C-alpha cells in the first residue's frame, strides 16, 4: 500500500536496508515466531492464538516513539526489551499471563540493518525470559521517527481480571519494588547529561531502560487485590487513575514510599528530586489496593517472589490524593505525572 514512490527504487548505501519487507520479515522476525504455530511463520494475513479452557484473552497495546519514549542512541536491543516489557507490564497489572504479541515497526528509509539485528536479538532474549513469542505484525516505511507498537496478548482465568475500578474505602495501598529511579534518571539526563548519568548512575539508567514487568506478582494478586495499575505515568497520576475509576480518594505517607539507596542519596543532596518520586513514571512497579485482611497474604506474596512490597497509604472516601510528610502535614504536589498532550 503506498501513495509515494516505492522505496525499493531508492538507492541504498552499504549496510543500510537492502532487503524488502518480506526479506526483512524472513531475516529478523520469522525466527521470533518459529515456536508459535498460530503465527503461521508470519506468512498469513492473520495470527491465531487460543487461550486455555476456562480462561479469557486480555490485550494491551503500547507505542514507543524515537525522541519521545527513547533516545536514538539507546541500544536497539534494550529498546526492543523495553517495548515488550511495558506491554507485559500492562498484562501484569491486570493479573494476566503473557502468551504472545504482535509487532508494528515504522522505520525510516535507509535504515541500518545492524539496528534491526540488535532489535530482534533483544526480543529473542526476552521471549525466552518471559516465555512469549511473536505471532504477527506489520512493517512499514516512514518519513518520520522510528515508531514501534506492540499488542500483547495474555490469558487469565475468566472473571479474574484486576480492574482499576475496584478500590474500596479503607483498603491499603501497596507498591512493589522501589519508586522513582526511572524518573530520577530522566531528570539527571536533563541536568547533568546522558553520558554522566550512565557513568555515575548506571543502576538508575537500567531502571529506566529495562523495567521489570511484575508478572508473577500480578498473577498472585488476581483474586486478592481490589484494584491494580502499573506505574507508567507516575505514582500520583496512576493512583489518581485508580481513585477516579473507583470513585474514592487516597492518602499517601511520603516516608513510606520505598526508595533505592541511589535515589535516597540523590534526594538527600537535592530535595527537588522528590518530585520525580511521586510525579515521574517509567518505573513499571505495580501499585495496588487490597483489603486490610489481606496483609499477611500480601506479605507472603513478597516472600514467595523475593521482592519488596510496601504499604504506602490507604484509600479514603471523597476525592483527591493527599501526600503527608512525617509530621502528617499535606505536601503540595506540583507534578501530576506525565501527560502526552
Q: Which is nearer to a second copy, 17 or 257 (CB)?
A: 17
Contact between 50 and a second copy by CB under 8 A: the answer reads yes
Site for a second copy in 79-98 (CB under 8 A): 86, 89-91, 93-94, 96
Q: Tell me the site size for a second copy, rule CB under 8 A.
A: 90
Site for a second copy in 224-283 (CB under 8 A): 228-230, 232-233, 241, 244-245, 281-282
Query: Which residues, 6+ apart, have CB-to-CB distance to 15 below 8 Å?
Result: 112, 113, 114
CA dist., res. 166 & res. 260, Å (int): 30
Q: Which of 193, 186, 220, 211 is nearest to 303 (CA)?
A: 220
CA dist., res. 197 & res. 99, Å (int): 35
CA dist., res. 115 & res. 113, Å (int): 5
Task: Return the residue of 128, 131, 140, 317 that touches a second copy, per CB under 8 A.
Answer: 140
Tell the smallest beta-carbon distance from residue 189 to a second copy (Å): 7
Tell the smallest beta-carbon distance from residue 95 to a second copy (Å): 9
- With contact defined as beta carbons under 8 Å apart, do 227 and 165 qualify? yes
Tell the smallest beta-carbon distance from residue 230 to a second copy (Å): 6
Contact between 4 and a second copy by CB under 8 A: the answer reads yes
Site for a second copy in 16-45 (CB under 8 A): 17, 19-22, 24, 40, 43-45
CA dist., res. 61 & res. 6, Å (int): 29
CA dist., res. 52 & res. 97, Å (int): 11
Q: Which is nearer to a second copy, 20 or 300 (CB)?
A: 20
Q: Which is nearer to a second copy, 68 or 304 (CB)?
A: 68
First vs last C-alpha separation in the chain: 30
Task: Return the residue of 149, 176, 226, 289 that touches a second copy, per CB under 8 A.
Answer: 149
Site for a second copy in 158-177 (CB under 8 A): 158, 161, 163-165
Tell the smallest beta-carbon distance from residue 326 to a second copy (Å): 29
Q: Which of 132, 137, 156 is nearest to 58 (CA)?
A: 156
Query: Which residues, 6+ apart, have CB-to-CB distance to 162 below 8 Å?
Result: 93, 94, 95, 218, 221, 222, 225, 227, 228, 288
Q: Which is nearer to a second copy, 145 or 324 (CB)?
A: 145
Task: Return the residue of 28, 29, 36, 49 that touches a second copy, per CB under 8 A.
Answer: 49
CA dist., res. 120 & res. 109, Å (int): 18
CA dist., res. 210 & res. 231, Å (int): 14
- With contact defined as beta carbons under 8 Å apart, do 167 and 244 qualify? no
Cell numbers for 5, please give them: 514512490
Task: Return the residue of 33, 83, 103, 243 that touches a second copy, per CB under 8 A.
Answer: 103
Contact between 196 and a second copy by CB under 8 A: the answer reads no
Query: Which residues, 6+ apart, have CB-to-CB distance to 197 below 8 Å?
Result: 185, 188, 189, 204, 205
Tell the smallest beta-carbon distance from residue 126 to a second copy (Å): 18
Task: Return the residue of 61, 192, 330, 331 that touches a second copy, per CB under 8 A.
Answer: 61
Task: Return the residue of 7, 224, 291, 322 that touches a second copy, per CB under 8 A.
Answer: 7
Site for a second copy in 282-321 (CB under 8 A): 282
Tell the smallest beta-carbon distance from residue 198 to a second copy (Å): 13
Q: Which of 253, 35, 53, 14 is nearest to 132 (CA)?
A: 35
Amino acid at each position: 500500500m503506498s501513495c509515494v514512490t516505492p522505496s525499493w527504487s531508492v538507492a541504498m548505501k552499504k549496510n543500510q536496508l537492502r532487503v524488502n519487507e518480506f526479506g526483512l520479515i524472513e531475516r529478523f522476525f520469522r525466527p521470533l515466531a518459529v515456536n508459535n504455530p498460530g503465527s503461521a511463520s508470519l506468512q498469513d494475513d492473520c495470527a491465531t492464538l487460543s487461550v486455555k479452557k476456562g480462561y479469557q484473552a486480555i490485550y494491551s497495546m503500547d507505542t514507543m516513539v524515537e525522541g519521545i519514549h527513547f533516545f536514538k542512541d539507546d541500544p536497539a536491543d534494550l529498546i526492543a526489551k523495553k517495548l515488550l516489557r511495558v506491554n507485559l507490564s500492562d498484562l501484569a497489572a491486570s493479573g494476566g499471563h503473557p502468551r504472545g504479541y504482535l509487532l508494528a515497526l515504522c522505520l525510516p528509509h535507509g535504515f541500518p540493518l545492524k539496528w534491526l539485528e540488535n532489535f530482534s536479538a533483544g526480543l529473542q532474549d526476552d521471549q525466552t525470559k518471559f516465555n512469549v513469542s511473536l505471532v504477527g505484525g506489520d512493517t512499514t516505511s516512514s518519513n518520520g521517527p522510528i515508531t514501534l507498537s506492540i499488542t500483547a496478548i495474555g490469558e487469565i482465568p475468566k472473571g479474574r481480571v484486576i480492574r482499576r475500578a475496584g478500590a474500596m474505602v479503607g483498603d491499603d495501598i501497596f507498591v512493589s519494588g522501589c519508586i522513582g529511579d526511572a524518573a530520577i534518571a530522566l531528570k539527571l539526563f536533563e541536568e547533568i547529561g546522558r553520558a554522566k548519568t550512565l557513568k555515575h548512575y548506571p543502576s538508575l539508567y537500567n531502571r529506566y531502560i529495562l523495567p521489570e514487568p511484575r508478572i508473577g506478582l500480578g498473577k498472585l494478586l488476581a483474586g486478592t487485590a481490589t484494584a491494580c495499575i502499573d506505574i507508567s505515568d507516575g505514582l500520583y497520576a496512576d493512583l489518581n487513575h485508580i481513585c477516579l475509576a473507583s470513585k474514592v480518594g487516597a492518602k499517601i505517607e511520603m516516608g513510606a514510599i520505598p526508595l533505592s539507596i541511589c535515589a535516597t542519596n540523590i534526594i538527600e543532596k537535592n530535595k527537588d528530586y522528590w518530585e520525580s518520586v511521586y510525579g515521574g513514571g517509567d518505573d513499571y512497579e505495580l501499585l495496588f489496593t487490597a483489603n486490610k485482611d489481606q496483609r499477611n497474604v500480601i506479605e507472603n506474596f513478597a516472600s514467595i517472589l523475593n521482592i519488596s512490597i510496601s504499604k504506602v497509604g490507604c484509600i479514603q472516601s471523597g476525592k483527591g490524593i493527599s501526600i503527608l510528610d512525617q509530621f502528617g502535614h499535606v505536601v503540595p504536589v506540583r507534578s501530576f505525572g506525565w501527560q502526552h498532550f
